[in-house]
Structure 1
Amino acid sequence: MTTPANQAPTGGLTPHLTIRDKRAKDAIDFYGKAFGATEVVRQPADDGERLMHAHVHINGASLMMHDDFPEYTGSPAPEPAGTVLHLQVDDTDRWYGRAIEAGATSVMAPEDMFWGDRYAQVRDPFGHLWSIGNPLKGDGR
């Protein structure tokens, strides 16, 4: 039996982000430009402005998101903090550069790390922190 394209894989862990300020549609566009995300599905809310659910694939994994709905939670979603989304990639410098070009802010430029990865961090325009890494090869990259 195959899993429908709009369904998350069973098992594993799928991050599900709350996007503030009615910008989930913008987030889908940004993740496409920055990380090569492909949209799987989006479900608009009844108000026509916000998304109640969206699902994209990035680097072989699922990411889900939705706009903030403070009318259901009692208050606006807090500023994102305490979570880092990590991308294990083939070329940290290329992925980092693409994210910066798409509008991410550099938190840590690519560097060779003691644990054996080339590693960088960016903050997306919606406040979420992303780390990007690839194992170092014999030439240091």
Structure 2
Amino acid sequence: MSDEYPGVIPHLTIADRRADEAIAFYQAAFGAELVQRMPTEDGRVMHAHLKINGGSVMLNDDFPEYHGPTGAPAAMTLHLQVADADAAFDRATAAGATVTMPLDNQFWGDRYGQVADPFGFTWSIGGPVRE
């Protein structure tokens, strides 16, 4: 577990290209501090990291082109930032989670993947890239 990202982090998907509005709302309503905002070339928010009351919340605009087989977006993903993404990913799949995005080294510098638990929730797992 990372000291910067303890526990489980909610990662919200905002519909209708309104992530910037959501950021502004969370700042006004809850005193959120914008830690990071990463836009795409077309102006959508690919990733934003907020701190609210000492905890992290991540969010992004919906990307319909990446919806899974159901065609429906995941409104929320639960994120785990860990020291060893491979071990955490293997543990989740051994317990019965289904791989929805294979674990791989990502351009932003994490080893990252996603699984679905047996109850319909998406979990993302990220950690340092392995040498």
> TM-score if structure 1 supplies the norm length?
0.47
Tell which has more relative contact order, 1 or 2 (C-alpha 8 A, sep 6+): 2
Larger radius of gyration: 1
> TM-score if structure 2 supplies the norm length?
0.50
